[in-house]
Structure 1
Amino acid sequence: MEKHELFHTLHQLSRQLMNKLNEELKKYGLYHAQWSVIYTLKTQGSLTQKQLCAYLSVEAPPLTRTIQRLVKQDYVKQIQGKDRREKHIVLTEKALTEYPAWEKAVLDVNQTLLEPLPNSSQQELYKLLHTWIKQLPQ
């Protein structure tokens, strides 16, 4: 495999996976970027916008737009930190109430996409991806 094929293949795979996820989340008025923020806050707890940017490897402007949409939907709120420039992002009660339905939708898409692969390949895929992510420089 030529070196550039890795990036092309990963990009194509990522786009197809995100499109499938968006199709399912659209029923709930969400997109994959919003789900990423919601999932991260659910699993990591309250984070500053800067911490979210770092964790999700996203630039500040698109994350700001995503957070603004989530605020309008009443799924997250921003709490002023000790420093005036610092805002902590937290899930609202509305988001916590709706989270199980969103999670089920994501899990259903996940299962559908992985279904063609045998269980051993699914486990190996997760192992490889997690190992690779941990080894990438921040």
Structure 2
Amino acid sequence: MNFLFHNLFRYQDLGLLFYRIVFGLSMMAHGYFKFAAGEQTLYNIGHTMAQFGIPDGFLLLGMAAAAAELLGGFLIILGFLTRLGALLVAFTLLIATYAALGGGFFKWDYPSQMMFGSIMLFIAGPGRYSVDSAFARR
């Protein structure tokens, strides 16, 4: 049982690296599959902004959401501009969570959990094994 409580902080950077890779790959996949699904899917994703009073530009908004997930995920994986990548993802998922609130728990739970994960990365930073860390040491 000692390994559960003793000197865990020496593995913190490794844990952040693992989380960044898994989380970033998930976000990149979501962004990629939105683009791969085509124009109608991107339009439908962008159309969720109509409930915020935005009257048009839905295809562009859907493309922006997909690009934020794709680019944000990529930045998170690299640990390069990690906090910017986390903000891109968090903002996109905040809108997705809000848009899904009326659909019941299982509609908004996933985007909210992913949003909280990106907020955690924003707060914690990328850790030692990152491009950001390499630049900070100079």
Instruction: Please report the TM-score for the alignment, with normalisation by the length of structure 1.
Output: 0.28
Structure with bigger strand share is: 1
Instruction: Please report the TM-score for the alignment, with normalisation by the length of structure 2.
Output: 0.28
Structure with bigger helix share is: 2
Q: Which has the higher contact order (CA 8 A, sep 6+)?
A: 2
